[in-house]
Copies of this chain bind each other. A is one copy, B any other.
Amino acid sequence: MDPTKEQTNVWIGISLAQRELHRAIDGALREANLPSLKWYDVLWELDRATDGLRPFELKSLVLFEQSNLSRVVQRMVKERLIGEHPSRKDGRGKVLMITDSGRELRRRMWKVYGPLIRQNIERIEDSFDLRVVAGALSVLADRKSRKP
């Protein structure tokens, strides 16, 4: 059945807000000669995972297609942002680890990324409770609560 006007407005709001912020952030990174948000996500996950990650684990965290992830990893290895080590436990696989320069790059990217999050989200704080907004969005972000 058709969605209500309010339901549609929420979906349009999510789409436009995401598009606007993503554009602003990616644009600022590019102007600073830094890589895109996708690379940031990869660096962030690898920075958190102190024992490294297998490509298939990383894939489910950042939601890349496996073949795409394979190529993104290749590029990042070439840039010495991450390193590959054969897995001792599983002969098929390898383990990805962030390098020092990968960590350093992530920090530099955050100096651009972080303030933009603040400046943008700040603008709704006067009129709205951020915890309410985040709570509503988190329901949608959770694929597990949706019927198969």
Chain B residues in 8 Å Cβ range of A17:
14, 137-138, 140-141
Interface residues of A in 88-106 (CB under 8 A from B): none
Oligomer: number of copies: 2
The answer to whether the Cβ of A32 comes within 8 Å of any Cβ in the partner chain is: no
Main secondary structure of the interface of A (DSSP, over half): helix
Interface residues on A, range: 35 or more
Q: Is B20 in contact with A134, judged by CB distance below 8 angstroms?
A: no
A sample of 16 cross-chain residue pairs with beta-carbon separation below 8 angstroms, ordered by A number, consists of: A1-B118, A3-B118, A7-B117, A7-B125, A8-B117, A9-B131, A10-B130, A10-B134, A11-B21, A13-B140, A14-B14, A16-B140, A20-B143, A21-B140, A120-B140, A120-B146
Q: Is A134 in contact with B15, judged by CB distance below 8 angstroms?
A: no
Q: Is B1 in contact with A134, judged by CB distance below 8 angstroms?
A: no
